Amino acid sequence: MLFAVHCLDHADALPRRLANYDAHKAHLASGSIATVISGPLVAEHGVTMIGSLFVFSANSIDDVKAFNAADPFASANVWESVNIHPFLMRVDNRL
């Protein structure tokens, strides 16, 4: 099953985000659950990172919650809010 995860950063999180970026990438690549797509959310000017967006393939929402809680960005208090929802993909026009 697919799950969409939408995370918004604390206003002062950018230094913590940058300091933990490599560990965050390693966590996503760990294979605990499959990352379908992921990337940073950016401010309207398209540069400053302000959050994260993921689509994961996992057996349960509890697996996604546990995986997300183990992310270095979570332990570094980068994210102010995290929303996780089951996702039904209807269109996939990847570039």
Average pLDDT, integer, range 9-28:
98
Expressed in angstroms, the distance from the first to the final Cα of the chain is 22
**Beta-carbon neighbour count of residue 74 at 10 Å?**
17
| Position 93 pLDDT exceeds 80 | yes
Q: What is the pLDDT of residue 69?
A: 97
Is residue 94 a part of any domain in this protein?
A: no
> Which H or E run contains 10?
none
Reported confidence tier of residue 32, pLDDT bands at 50, 70, 90: confident
How many structural domains comprise the chain? 1
For the entire predicted model, the pTM comes to 0.93
- The mean pLDDT value for 53-82 works out to 98
CATH code of the domain in which 79 resides: 3.30.70.1060
For residue 93, is it within any domain? no
Does 64 have pLDDT greater than 90? yes
In this structure, what token pair is assigned to residue 45?
Answer: 């000017």
